[in-house]
Amino acid sequence: MSESRFTAAQDGLRLHALDYGDRHSARLPVVCLPGLTRTVEDFAVLAAALASDRRVLCLDYRGRGRSDYDPNPEHYAIPVEAADVVTVMAALEAMPAIIVGTSRGGLVAMTLAAEKPELLAGIVLNDIGPVIEIEGVLRIKGYVGQLSHPGSYQEAAEFLRRSTGNQFPKLGAADWLAAAKRGWREEGGRLVSTYDPALADTVQGFDPQHPFPTLWPQFDAMAQMPLMVVHGANSDILSSATVDAMRARRPDMDVLVVPDQGHAPLLAEAGTIDAIAAFAAKCDGRAAAASTAKSATARTSAAPSSAGTRGTGPPDRIR
């Protein structure tokens, strides 16, 4: 079961999150961050599974899902969204946390690693890395904001299949229909997208002659925390070459390649969920070990010296 929670951003916009599991669990919480135009619904299967023994928060950024739309589209930017995530984590007492970031969510996670590393206990990057492939950005640019009001869910499903079908060749008609119901909702007697159409502005100005800058400094900021990468084998956003370069910098990084899926893996299959759960357990163990070591250091520092405080003789008798 999940509960909707609402938090006010620093500028007053209302931000929505779905809260799963036991908020008093001794295990680290997981915070799920979706892609550019995506919502909490993308994590429904994963969150329900992980919530069997820990708390899971799934966030709608401003302009998506049940969060308020921003009257200034320039605020649909990663620094603003990262600040919103910090606000929600603090308000709902979910820090430090393991971040599962899909696409843009992974970029937000890397930003937080560089700016607020103390809030993070581990990161799962779902099909995103320091190098973003031009081909994938152009594909996303071609469909974001292009079908705000489909005539039916079936029309929306067909639009998604045409736009991203080469990324997910094994999905059937029922899968595309389910995806359409995550991307549009009924409102006022018609279907509307679950994101602010103004989000299209974030990619419409993309020029392939001037690709996005690489994010290796942000990637390196994660050096001291557990890291996992989920890579869609068909992805046109995260290349195998980039994954290899990431692994060269982080030999201890967990890598899961999801066959027959592209950008971004659905995180709904048993094998993928089990791998993420195992990674979260590893983060729990590391956090527990760090806490034990810190406590031991504190006890050692607080312990009185075995030597007397007066010269070199025996300590005063306890009266």
**Residue 92 domain-assigned?**
yes
Q: In the prediction, which pLDDT does 302 show? A: 72
| Domain count within the chain | 1
**Residue 200 domain-assigned?**
no
The enclosing domain of 45 has a CATH number of 3.40.50.1820
Structure tokens at 260: 């027959």
Mean pLDDT for the stretch of residues 79-95: 98
Is residue 294 predicted with pLDDT exceeding 90?
no
Structure tokens at 150: 């489909």
Average per-residue pLDDT in the chain?
93
**Residue 310 domain-assigned?**
no
If phi > 0 it is left, if psi is from -120 to 50 it is alpha, else beta; for residue 232 that is: beta
Q: In the prediction, which pLDDT does 254 show? A: 98
**Residue 203 domain-assigned?**
no
**Residue 35 domain-assigned?**
yes
Which residue type occupies 135? Answer: E
**Residue 218 domain-assigned?**
yes
**Residue 304 domain-assigned?**
no
Question: Measuring CA to CA, how many Å separate 111 from each of 27, 97, 102, 217?
Answer: 24, 15, 14, 10
Q: In the prediction, which pLDDT does 319 show? A: 27
Q: In the prediction, which pLDDT does 299 show? A: 78
Q: In the prediction, which pLDDT does 1 show? A: 85
Q: In the prediction, which pLDDT does 185 show? A: 97
**Residue 14 domain-assigned?**
yes
Is residue 200 predicted with pLDDT exceeding 80?
yes
pLDDT digits (tens, 9 = 90+) for 234-283: 999 999 999 999 999 999 999 999 999 999 999 999 999 999 999 999 99
pLDDT digits (tens, 9 = 90+) for 109-143: 999 999 999 999 999 999 999 999 999 999 999 99
219: containing domain: 2-134+214-289
Q: In the prediction, which pLDDT does 167 show? A: 97
